[in-house]
């Protein structure tokens, strides 16, 4: 894979108000409460995950790559710097496509912490880091009615396409 410049695991990143901490299985307990709001899943579907479901998911993700090695998985817990409160997560799946690095990105900020531009700041810190490491193209899949995530995508320099993937609009930049 051409991503030799991208570390095999995420590293700690810092924004103005936020820190992005590499995902660990131990984050499951505190993240279960952050994600425990059915309205948070309005656009993504599903139910709030249990602690055990998060532990299992995080155990798979912290490996840092797909089983065949073709994708690099980078996952961070988003924390407010002033009180170290976990407020959400950002993630990127990096692969090589057409001889360039492409990152499919996502961000989730807990309902109690929305409306403060945390998603924008966290996603910007992550995407700046990815671009500094040679990622040439960013992709996000966003529900067509999720205006807040669309605004974050626009701030990241992504534009929506006419392509739908499992009911979500593909944004590219």
- Averaged confidence pLDDT in the chain: 93
Query: How far apart, in whole angstroms, are the C-alpha atoms of residue 10 and residue 162?
Result: 32
**% of residues, the chain, pLDDT over 90:** 88
Classify residue 56: in a domain, yes or no. yes
Classify residue 7: in a domain, yes or no. no
Is a pLDDT exceeding 60 seen at residue 1? no
| Tokens at 101, concatenated | 């690095």
Query: How far apart, in whole angstroms, are the C-alpha atoms of residue 157 and residue 173?
Result: 6
Classify residue 152: in a domain, yes or no. yes
Classify residue 90: in a domain, yes or no. yes
Cβ–Cβ under 8 Å, residues 61 and 96: no
- Write down the pTM of the prediction: 0.93
Query: How far apart, in whole angstroms, are the C-alpha atoms of residue 107 and residue 118?
Result: 10
Classify residue 48: in a domain, yes or no. yes
Does residue 156 or residue 46 have the better pLDDT? 156
Is a pLDDT exceeding 90 seen at residue 43? no
Range of the domain at 77: 13-172
Classify residue 2: in a domain, yes or no. no
CATH number at residue 131: 3.40.630.30
Residues 64-85 have pLDDT tens digits of 999 999 999 999 999 999 999 9
Residues 126-153 have pLDDT tens digits of 999 999 999 999 999 999 999 999 999 9
Cβ–Cβ under 8 Å, residues 102 and 6: no
**% of residues, the chain, pLDDT over 70:** 95
Q: What is the pLDDT of residue 37?
A: 93
Reported confidence tier of residue 6, pLDDT bands at 50, 70, 90: low
Is a pLDDT exceeding 70 seen at residue 63? yes
Is a pLDDT exceeding 90 seen at residue 115? yes
Mean pLDDT score, 19-40: 96
Q: How many domains, the chain?
A: 1
């Amino acid at each position: 894979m051409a991503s030799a410049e991208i570390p095999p695991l995420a590293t700690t990143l810092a924004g103005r108000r936020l820190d992005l901490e590499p995902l660990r299985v131990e984050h499951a307990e505190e993240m279960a409460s952050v994600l425990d709001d059915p309205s948070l899943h309005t656009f993504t579907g599903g139910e709030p995950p249990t602690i055990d479901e998060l532990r299992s998911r995080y155990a798979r993700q912290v490996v840092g790559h797909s089983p065949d090695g073709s994708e690099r998985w980078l996952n961070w817990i988003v924390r407010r710097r002033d009180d170290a409160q976990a407020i959400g997560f950002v993630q990127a799946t990096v692969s090589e496509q057409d001889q360039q690095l492409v990152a499919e990105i996502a961000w989730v900020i807990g309902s109690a912490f929305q409306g403060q531009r945390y998603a924008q700041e966290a996603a910007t810190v992550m995407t700046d880091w990815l671009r500094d490491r040679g990622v040439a193209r960013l992709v996000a899949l966003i529900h067509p009615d999720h205006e807040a995530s669309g605004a974050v995508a626009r701030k990241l320099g992504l534009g929506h396409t006419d392509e739908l993937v499992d009911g979500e609009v593909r944004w590219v930049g």
